[in-house]
């Protein structure tokens, strides 16, 4: 569970609620028709803009954004180096018995292809293609949240314009102008909150998640190719640690970088 994301969203809503309570009556900030036009309009426009298959998986995409188990690149490199040591010592065929204990299916597929004697270029091509498809799926999910976040403020403005037209068409009662203006502006507020507190932050979070996973998968591809080619485990470690920042490479590498 990604508590940072949850806490961030809750904090944003809490600050808005505090500002509303401090500024006057909370009831003045509640208008059901305004909520309906912003939420319903953003969803309707997204239905027209995004493929239905992506819309159907919105709950799954949201769940993956919140429920995220971070994986350490350093630990991944450590595991790949240990596989290289086994392959170097006992032969690459010995890795086949280890596959059942490896949790990452991407590593398992790469090692199994190497054990089966698949051509190195074909192994790399298959794994890179799988990585590209992963990026495309992530981009599809990010685009869904980004699209809703883009349309919510637009429908907030549409609601405001509708409210202003209705208010200006009924100028007989000057005392109602202030309340009418307030209601008209609520849709803009709802659109801004929905976009900037929920959907755009989630879209940015998905983008960062995708970058993290691309790094991990790239490390795996390079590690499997090094194991397949029979590189010395120390060489494998040095190759893979180039993906880490100097501060995460250990005391020796950090000293050399300095």
* 51 HSE (CA, 13 A, CB side): 8
pLDDT band at 179 (very low <50, low <70, confident <90, very high): low
8 A C-beta contact, residue 83 and residue 98: yes
Average pLDDT of the residues of the chain: 87
DSSP three-state, residue 15: helix
Greater model confidence, 12 or 183:
12
Closest CA to 197 of 185, 206, 189, 208: 189
Q: In this structure, what token pair is assigned to residue 139?
A: 């981009």
Residues 6+ apart with CB under 8 A from 199: 145, 146, 148, 149, 152
Q: In this structure, what token pair is assigned to residue 132?
A: 């590209």
In this prediction, residue 165 carries a pLDDT of 84
Helix axes 200-228, 105-115, angle to 10 degrees: 20
pTM for this prediction: 0.81
d(CA 120, CA 105): 19
pLDDT in tens, 86-144: 998 988 898 988 888 898 999 999 999 999 989 999 999 999 999 999 999 889 889 99
Closest CA to 143 of 216, 210, 63: 210
pLDDT in tens, 29-87: 888 888 999 999 999 999 999 888 888 888 888 887 777 777 889 999 999 999 999 99
């Amino acid at each position: 569970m990604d508590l940072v994301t949850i806490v961030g969203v809750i904090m944003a809503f809490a600050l808005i609620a505090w500002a509303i309570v401090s500024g006057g009556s909370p009831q003045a900030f509640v208008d059901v028709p305004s909520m309906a036009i912003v939420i319903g309009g953003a969803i309707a426009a997204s239905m027209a803009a995004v493929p239905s298959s992506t819309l159907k998986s919105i709950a799954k995409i949201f769940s993956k954004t919140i429920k995220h188990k971070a994986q350490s690149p350093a630990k991944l490199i450590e595991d790949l180096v240990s596989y290289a040591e086994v392959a170097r010592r006992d032969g690459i065929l010995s890795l086949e018995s280890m596959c059942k204990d490896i949790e990452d299916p991407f590593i398992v597929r790469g090692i199994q292809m190497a054990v089966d004697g698949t051509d190195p270029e074909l192994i790399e091509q298959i794994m890179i293609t799988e990585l590209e498809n992963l990026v495309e799926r992530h981009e599809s999910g990010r685009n869904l949240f980004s699209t809703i976040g883009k349309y919510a403020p637009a429908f907030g403005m549409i609601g405001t314009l509708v409210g202003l037209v209705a208010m200006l068409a009924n100028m007989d009662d000057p005392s109602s102008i202030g309340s009418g203006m307030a209601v008209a502006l609520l849709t803009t507020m709802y659109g801004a909150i929905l976009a900037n507190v929920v959907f755009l932050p989630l879209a940015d979070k998905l983008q960062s998640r995708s970058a993290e996973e691309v790094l991990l998968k790239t490390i795996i591809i390079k590690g499997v190719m090094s194991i397949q080619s029979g590189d010395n485990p120390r060489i494998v470690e040095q190759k893979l640690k180039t993906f880490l920042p100097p501060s995460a490479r250990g005391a020796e590498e950090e000293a050399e970088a300095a």
